[in-house]
Amino acid sequence: MNPSATTTVTERLRDRVTGRVITPGDADYETLRTTHYGAPDARPAVIVRAASTSDVVVAVAAARESGLELAVRSGGHSAAGHSTTERGILLDLGDMKDLEIDVENRTATARPGLTAGEYNTAAGRHGLATGFGDTGSVGVAGITLGGGVGLLTRRYGLTIDSLLGVEIVTADGGVLEADAEHDPDLFWAVRGGGGNFGVVTRLTFRLHPVDEVVGGMLVLPAAAEVIEGFARLVAAAPDELTAIANLMPCPPLPFVPAEVHGRPVLMAQLVHTGPVDEAEEALAPFRALAEPYADLVRPMRYPEIFQEEDMGPMPEIVSRGGFVREFGAEGAALLADAVATPGSPRIAQLRVLGGAVARIDTDATAFVHRDVPMMLMLVAFCDGPEDRARQEAWLEEASVLLDRATYVNFLGRAGAEEVRSAYPGRTWDRLAEVKRRYDPQNLFRLNHNVTPA
């Protein structure tokens, strides 16, 4: 688009938007044009910091009428670089942070600019929570639209399993309320189908009684039998217990003895939502897997589980993630070897599913991988091109553990086939049909894209 046409779009946005319209040269442009996690060094033509649903309608109309690429950002954690656009319109919802909590009915209505940490800190004041991921800074909107796997997953299901309805601005500028009764196909599609169908401007969630939990970090040696035992124990544990384990060389953590730093460890985040005595009983076999290097698991308020985040410069990484159907001794040995290999670090993250996730019908949401026992994310740091080739070769080798199907929230820059593998069989056709109805021109295409049928 020529510069004068872009200027016209910007002027029209400035006239109509009540939030902020930011262009190159404005204060904040440099900090807002990209994000810490995975966003490319792009320069949007204009950034709309929306203040309301009407601002979103205006920005969507500007993209539709101008043909400029539209990026939609809530928490800005897209690993695929979808949180910004080169010379397009960046619709940034980060200022839309209202949260209404209905304690009596145990529901919460959130605007998309909220992060998981902000939401659960506020809900935690009432002894309530909704499960998002393991990281407080992830946006509630992005994680929900992809599914949402976190530390309450085995007890209360995926984030989408607590989603009661959304307000969504569709490609034609309509503002719809989608839930089980209104536009049910659209509501099915947004629960796992990502940002393909419109801009979600409000999300209503069920809140669960999660006040004091027994949770925190357990650090064990990353020997193959410990890894295998850990996965087996979580799968057999009561639903109250959810765990995420990171296998990695031990970082220089102050609560781990200095001689362990650099050695391969299994660093688990555990959350048990039941009474303390039941939690202690469920946790005992984990503590018995090996002498822990550190045991920080204790009664705590649930929001305390979110750790402080390192916002320092991001090293170059390569990654691959997905579902695991068979793990066992061989898989555990492969991962134990990988994290013990000298050179730039490798991290393998294991999430055991099951529990409440598996009890919901496969057809109920666009996330369909409910029978899969485990997820695995492989991340490798790279120190230059030669090292990158070495790490990519390892990813290829370790990928024998992964099922063909993928989880959209863990996809980086992915090809069409990889995106499609997140929606096997009929799910893809059903999504493509919903896409045809609500976004036939594929206006919302800067995402893990489902093309209209």
What is the contact surface with ligand FAD in residues (CB under 6 A)? 37, 72-79, 82-83, 93, 112, 133-135, 138-139, 141-143, 145-150, 194-195, 199-200, 409, 447
Measured N-to-C along each axis, helices 224-236 and 328-340 cross at an angle, to the nearest 10 degrees, of 130
Shortest spacing between CB 247 and ligand FAD, in angstroms: 16
User: Do residues 442 and 63 lie in contact, with contact meaning Cβ atoms separated by under 8 Å?
Assistant: no
Least separation in angstroms between CB 258 and ligand FAD: 27
Q: Which is nearer to ligand FAD, 142 or 331 (CB)?
A: 142
Residue among 272 and 448 whose Cβ is closer to ligand FAD: 448
Q: Provide, rounded to whole angstroms, the least separation between the CB of residue 54 and ligand FAD.
A: 15
CB-nearer residue toward ligand FAD: 15 or 41: 41
Closer CB to ligand FAD, residue 96 or residue 237? 96
Residue among 83 and 391 whose Cβ is closer to ligand FAD:
83
Q: Quick one: how far is CA 123 from the chain centroid?
A: 20
CB of residue 19 to ligand FAD, shortest distance in Å: 14
CB of 112 to ligand FAD, least distance (A): 4
Least distance between ligand FAD and beta carbon 10 (Å): 22
Distance, CA of 7 to CA of 373 (rounded, Å): 52
Q: Which is nearer to ligand FAD, 200 or 289 (CB)?
A: 200
Give 329 or 416: the residue with its C-beta nearer to ligand FAD.
416
Distance of CA 383 to the CA centre of its chain: 26
Which of 78/365 has CB closer to ligand FAD?
A: 78
- Residue 448 buriedness (CB in 10 A; 0-12 / 13-18 / 19+): buried
Shortest distance (Å) from residue 196 CB to ligand FAD: 8
CA distance 170 to 189: 13
With helix as H, strand as E and coil as C, how does 198-260 read? Answer: CEEEEEEEECECCCEEEEEEEEEECCHHHHHHHHHHHHHCCCCEEEEEEEEECCCCCCCCHHH
Quote the least distance from Cβ 343 to ligand FAD, whole Å.
23
**Burial class of residue 181 (count of CB atoms within 10 Å of its CB; 0-12, 13-18, 19+):** exposed
Q: How far apart are CA 218 and CA 314, in angstroms?
A: 26
CB-CB neighbours of 209 under 10 Å? 10
Residue-wise DSSP of 6-59 = HHHHHHHHHHH-SSEEE-TTSTTHHHHSS-SSS--S---SEEEE--SHHHHHHH
Question: 315: which 2 tokens?
Answer: 């090293």
Q: How far is the CB of 110 from ligand FAD (least distance, A)?
A: 11
Residue with nearest beta carbon to ligand FAD: 142
Considering beta carbons, is residue 128 or 138 the nearer one to ligand FAD? 138
Q: Which is nearer to ligand FAD, 178 or 336 (CB)?
A: 178
Cα separation, 106 vs 118, in Å, equals 17
CB 167 within 8 A of CB 428: no
CB of 314 to ligand FAD, least distance (A): 10
The burial of 355, by beta-carbon neighbours within 10 Å (0-12 exposed, 13-18 middle, 19 or more buried), is given as buried
Minimum CB distance to ligand FAD smaller for 194 or for 264: 194
CA-based torsion, 443, 444, 445, 446: positive or negative: positive
Alpha-carbon distances of 238 from 150, 269, 273, 361, rounded to whole Å: 16, 16, 10, 20
For the CB of residue 294, give the shortest distance to ligand FAD in the complex, in Å: 21
Instruction: Count the residues in the chain.
Output: 453
Which residue has 């209404």 as its token pair? 100
